[in-house]
């Protein structure tokens, strides 16, 4: 057969990468494909670790300052599912940020959970979701005593770190457990932002080591900071994960954590970013956030907008014309995800390209948008399991969604399972040229 994937990816080699994974396609590893093995003698077993895997997990737990750490080889998506399964039972109600990753919504289907939502603060001028208002969080928890678990995201895709010290106190004072999706923050504990990491405050924490550490795609860690039995975690891992976990994934998580502990590199990256911004002053507008709902902005996130282009256009232009890979673009902003592996030459290439394309005027930011909170009509599980049909987007008003519709990346639903399409939601969906969950201008609804 023709090797379509190989041919496509071969064409991407040599790109300057400002996207995940954090190894940036550079030759940094001291292991290779020869270490891709299974649970043979001497290699231990992830699902029943007793030797090298257990020792590695124990040392990682020490580094992060948590009770237990576990390698997850199917990404933070799987880590989140395991985390949620450990702290819920069917028909429980959990409170999540509306701008949570789709994996949390999918967990509600898989484990038959009811979702309550808290909206993030919204910056109208820049059309960006910020952090969580602690007063609003306390009100939500006091008004619904059925909520036993809160799931927050910090940092978010644009790098906004929540005030987790204050928020965690509110969650725990209301008798709830706290999971933090810190998929984008596995590096924080090694940086000057270490005190903002969720490992200081949450009961369970999820890290995507491949996002900002030099690890392979799909590598992740699950950290437990509360009294969940070790056997229970392994039981859930056995239930939900593949029986053939990737040793290369585990090796790369171990490598990435060891690399940051020994070498750091954050001062160098911050120096590069400072010089990069200075060189593009007046040419590119960088996103700067100051709000009391945000503790800080992740030093490895770089969001900006250019003259004459949407964020989506910037991503395409840089990839096709300059061989530079960005993480994502939206209607206004383009986003770089950095890591300590990025080099001066990479920044210089990006700087030159942005000077070339940033011409004209900045696009006006439409200030009419508000974060939409759709009406929940039936449970996520019921919607997922119902008979469905595809209808034109314009004809979906009043119908119940049986799928997630979202911009991907970042994978945050605009409408999800069991929620009602409205004129406002349809208008929001029509703003985007391409969405996951919209096929030939049709969406999936409950019959």
Give mean pLDDT, residues 77-102.
Answer: 97
pLDDT tens digits for range 29-86? 999 999 999 999 999 999 999 999 999 999 999 999 999 999 999 999 999 999 999 9
| Contact call for residues 187 and 300 (beta carbons, < 8 A) | yes
Torsion angle of the four alpha carbons 39, 43, 49, 53, in this order, in degrees rounded to the nearest 10? -130
pLDDT tens digits for range 324-347? 999 999 989 999 999 999 999 999
Output the pLDDT for position 194: 97
Q: Is residue 125 part of a domain?
A: yes
Residues 244 and 250: their CA atoms lie apart, in Å, by: 12
Tokens 């004072």 sit at which residue?
A: 173
57 and 86 share one domain: yes
50 and 145 share one domain: yes
- pTM (predicted TM-score): 0.95
| Contact call for residues 220 and 28 (beta carbons, < 8 A) | no
Phi, psi (deg, nearest 5) at residue 8: -65, -45
DSSP character string of 280-331: TTTTEEE-----TTEEEE-TTEEEEEETT--HHHHHHHHHHHH-EEESEE-S
pLDDT at 305 over 70: yes
**What is the band of 122 on the pLDDT scale with cuts at 50, 70, 90?**
confident
62 and 81 share one domain: yes
The backbone region for 44, taken as left when phi is positive above 0, alpha when psi lies in -120 to 50, beta otherwise, is: left
Sign for the CA dihedral angle at 139, 144, 147, 153 comes to: negative
Q: What CATH number is attached to the domain comprising 331?
A: 3.90.1150.150
Residues 359 and 349: their CA atoms lie apart, in Å, by: 17
Domain limits for position 316: 266-357
Phi, psi (deg, nearest 5) at residue 135: -65, -45
60 and 16 share one domain: yes
Please work out, in degrees rounded to the nearest 5, the angle formed at the alpha carbon of residue 440 by the alpha carbons of 391 and 128.
90
Output the pLDDT for position 368: 58
Query: For residue 442, what are the CA distances in angstroms to 49, 386, 407, 429, 431?
Result: 47, 18, 15, 11, 15
Give mean pLDDT, residues 275-283.
Answer: 96
pLDDT tens digits for range 124-164? 888 888 999 999 999 999 999 999 999 999 999 999 999 99
Cis peptide before 409 (omega within 30 of 0): yes
Output the pLDDT for position 369: 56
| Contact call for residues 85 and 224 (beta carbons, < 8 A) | no
Output the pLDDT for position 354: 97
112 and 259 share one domain: yes
Phi, psi (deg, nearest 5) at residue 297: -110, 130
| Contact call for residues 371 and 413 (beta carbons, < 8 A) | no
332 and 392 share one domain: no
259 and 326 share one domain: no
Q: Is residue 433 part of a domain?
A: yes
Output the pLDDT for position 127: 83
Q: What percent of the chain has pLDDT over 90?
A: 91
**What is the band of 433 on the pLDDT scale with cuts at 50, 70, 90?**
confident
391 and 327 share one domain: no
240 and 320 share one domain: no
Domain count, the chain: 3
Mean of all residue pLDDT scores within the chain: 95
Output the pLDDT for position 371: 63
Give mean pLDDT, residues 299-325.
Answer: 95
**What is the band of 411 on the pLDDT scale with cuts at 50, 70, 90?**
confident
Phi, psi (deg, nearest 5) at residue 272: -60, -45
| Contact call for residues 132 and 120 (beta carbons, < 8 A) | yes
pLDDT at 23 over 60: yes
Give mean pLDDT, residues 394-403.
Answer: 96
Q: What CATH number is attached to the domain comprising 36?
A: 3.40.640.10
Residues 211 and 222: their CA atoms lie apart, in Å, by: 14
Output the pLDDT for position 19: 96
316 and 205 share one domain: no
Output the pLDDT for position 409: 83
Q: Is residue 366 part of a domain?
A: no
180 and 135 share one domain: yes
Type and span of the H or E element at 97: strand 93-97
């Amino acid at each position: 057969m023709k090797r379509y994937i190989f041919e496509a990816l071969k064409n991407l080699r040599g790109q300057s990468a400002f996207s995940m994974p954090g190894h940036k396609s550079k030759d940094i590893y001291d292991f290779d494909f020869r270490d891709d093995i299974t649970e043979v003698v001497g290699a231990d077993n992830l699902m029943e670790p007793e030797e090298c895997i257990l020792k590695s997990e124990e040392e990682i737990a020490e580094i992060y300052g948590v009770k237990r750490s576990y390698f997850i080889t199917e990404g933070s998506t799987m880590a989140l599912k395991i985390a949620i399964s450990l702290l819920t039972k069917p028909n429980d109600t959990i409170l999540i940020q509306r701008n949570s990753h789709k994996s949390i919504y999918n967990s509600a289907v898989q484990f038959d959970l009811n979702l309550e939502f808290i909206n993030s603060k919204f910056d109208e001028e820049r059309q960006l979701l910020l952090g969580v208002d602690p007063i609003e969080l306390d009100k939500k928890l006091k008004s619904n005593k059925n909520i036993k678990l809160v799931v927050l995201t910090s940092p978010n895709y644009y790098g906004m770190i929540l005030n987790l010290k204050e928020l965690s106190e509110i969650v725990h004072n209301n008798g709830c457990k706290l999971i933090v999706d810190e998929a984008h923050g596995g590096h924080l504990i090694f940086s000057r932002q270490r005190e903002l990491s969720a490992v200081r405050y949450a009961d369970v924490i999820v890290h995507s080591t491949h996002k900002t550490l030099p690890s392979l795609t799909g590598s992740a860690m699950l950290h437990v900071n509360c009294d969940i039995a070790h056997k229970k975690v392994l039981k859930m891992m056995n239930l939900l994960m593949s029986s053939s976990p990737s040793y290369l994934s585990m090796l790369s998580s171990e490598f990435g954590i060891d690399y940051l502990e020994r070498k750091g590199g954050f001062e160098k990256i911050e120096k590069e970013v400072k010089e990069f911004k200075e060189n593009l002053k007046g040419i590119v507008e960088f996103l700067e956030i100051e709000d009391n709902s945000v503790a800080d902005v992740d030093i490895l996130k770089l969001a900006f907008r250019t003259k004459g282009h949407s964020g989506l256009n910037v991503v395409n232009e840089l990839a096709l014309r300059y061989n530079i890979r960005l993480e994502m673009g939206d209607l206004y902003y383009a986003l770089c995800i950095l890591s300590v592996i990025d080099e001066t030459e990479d920044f210089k290439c990006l700087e030159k390209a942005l000077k070339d394309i940033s011409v004209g005027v900045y696009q006006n930011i439409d200030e009419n948008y508000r974060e939409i909170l759709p009406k929940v009509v039936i449970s996520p599980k019921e919607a997922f399991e119902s008979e469905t049909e595809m209808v034109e987007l314009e004809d979906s008003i009043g119908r119940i969604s049986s799928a997630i519709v979202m911009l991907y990346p970042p994978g945050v639903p605009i409408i999800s399972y069991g929620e009602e399409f409205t004129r406002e939601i349809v208008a929001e969906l029509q703003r985007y040229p391409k969405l996951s969950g919209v096929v030939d201008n049709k969406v999936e609804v409950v019959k």
